[in-house]
Amino acid sequence: MRNFGVLAVLFLVFSCLNDKNTPLAPATVVVPTVPSVPSTPTVNCSPDTVYFQQSVLPLITSNCAMSGCHNAISKKEGVILTDYTNIMREVKVSSPASSDLYKCLFANSEDLMPPAPAAEFTIAQKSLVLKWIQQGAKNNSCSYSATCDTVNVTYSASVMPVLKTYCVSCHSAVSPSASIDLSTYAKVKVYATSGQLMGSITHTAGYKPMPSSTSKLGTCEINQIKVWVTKGMLNN
Ligand code: HEC
């Protein structure tokens, strides 16, 4: 918007100078260089970079930060893994492979994380954690899409993948947190209808903030879920 302001001022200057029909010598016009501010997020994810916000945080919160484990209340062994600051306490940037966050993924028997019966991290997930630490364990973020599509919103393509990544590890059928199961369409619709789904993900007062008080879904995801709710919560 600032760009438009500058352009408008330039335009006015031009118009005034042109009042007497004096032709302007282009060389005398100084156009200030204004840094361009993109109006939509740009696609800036590099395939060689591991992004904390997009890859590491969802992996850790959904496998480690559930109630009874490493959330702010349970904090098993004093370890909280809900947000960047706390996760960094388990990270050694100077010696990535000796970070507790990484070592515990390989430990023997009862020290292995996540503990049985939860599945061990896959080789790909373990390397992702290590690579992120090797790259400096930054609180970095990128965006995958240039625009946020809030028109073609469907349960299967827009809502379910988000819930699966950020919510289902705690809210699944086996032992759902707060007895809230978000693993099927029918159950999700119940909490969408009650207002609890939108209330919790928008961190609205009166609802428990989800996925946690320290992490929030992206604006795009929140908007897409909102559109899905307002359009009748279809199973599409
Ligand atoms: C780390 C585990 C965990 C994750 C991840 C998680 N939740 Fe929860 N959720 C809980 C717990 C525990 C409660 C109960 C909180 C309480 O009563 O203090 C809860 C409560 C809720 C409630 C009830 C809120 C209310 O005030 O009525 C909703 C709805 C909910 N979660 C939805 C979600 C959604 C949607 C996501 C993903 C964006 C999510 N949760 C991610 C553990 C989790």
With vertex at residue 225, the alpha carbon angle to CA 233 and CA 124, rounded to the nearest 5 degrees, is 120
Specify whether the CB–CB gap between 125 and 62 falls below 8 A: no
CA of 24 to the centre of ligand 1 (A): 65
Radius of gyration of the chain (CA): 24
Q: Is the pLDDT of residue 33 over 70?
A: no
What pLDDT does 144 receive? 64
Q: In ligand 1, which atom is closest to the CA atom of 207?
A: 26
How high does pLDDT run on average in the chain? Answer: 81
Pocket probe mutation, ligand 1, options 79, 171, 175, 214, max atoms within 8 Å of Cβ: 171
Q: Which two tokens stand for residue 219?
A: 């604006």
Specify whether the CB–CB gap between 80 and 86 falls below 8 A: yes
175 lines ligand 1 (CB under 6 A): no
67 lines ligand 1 (CB under 6 A): yes
Q: pLDDT per residue over 177-225, tens digit each? A: 889 999 999 999 999 999 999 999 999 999 999 988 777 888 888 999 9
Average pLDDT over residues 16-45: 46
How far is Cα 129 from Cα 136, in angstroms, rounded to an integer? 11
pLDDT bin (cut points 50, 70, 90) of residue 101 is very high
**Residues whose CB is less than 8 angstroms from the CB of residue 150 and which lie 6 or more positions away in sequence, other chains included:** 220, 223, 224, 227
Specify whether the CB–CB gap between 120 and 109 falls below 8 A: no
Q: Is the pLDDT of residue 25 over 60?
A: no
| More confident site: 148 or 228 | 228
Q: Is the pLDDT of residue 4 over 90?
A: no
| More confident site: 161 or 232 | 232
How far is Cα 138 from Cα 104, in angstroms, rounded to an integer? 20
For residue 66, what are the CA distances in angstroms to 40, 73, 89?
34, 10, 18
How far is Cα 82 from Cα 105, in angstroms, rounded to an integer? 17
Q: In ligand 1, which atom is closest to the CA atom of 66?
A: 1
| More confident site: 170 or 63 | 63
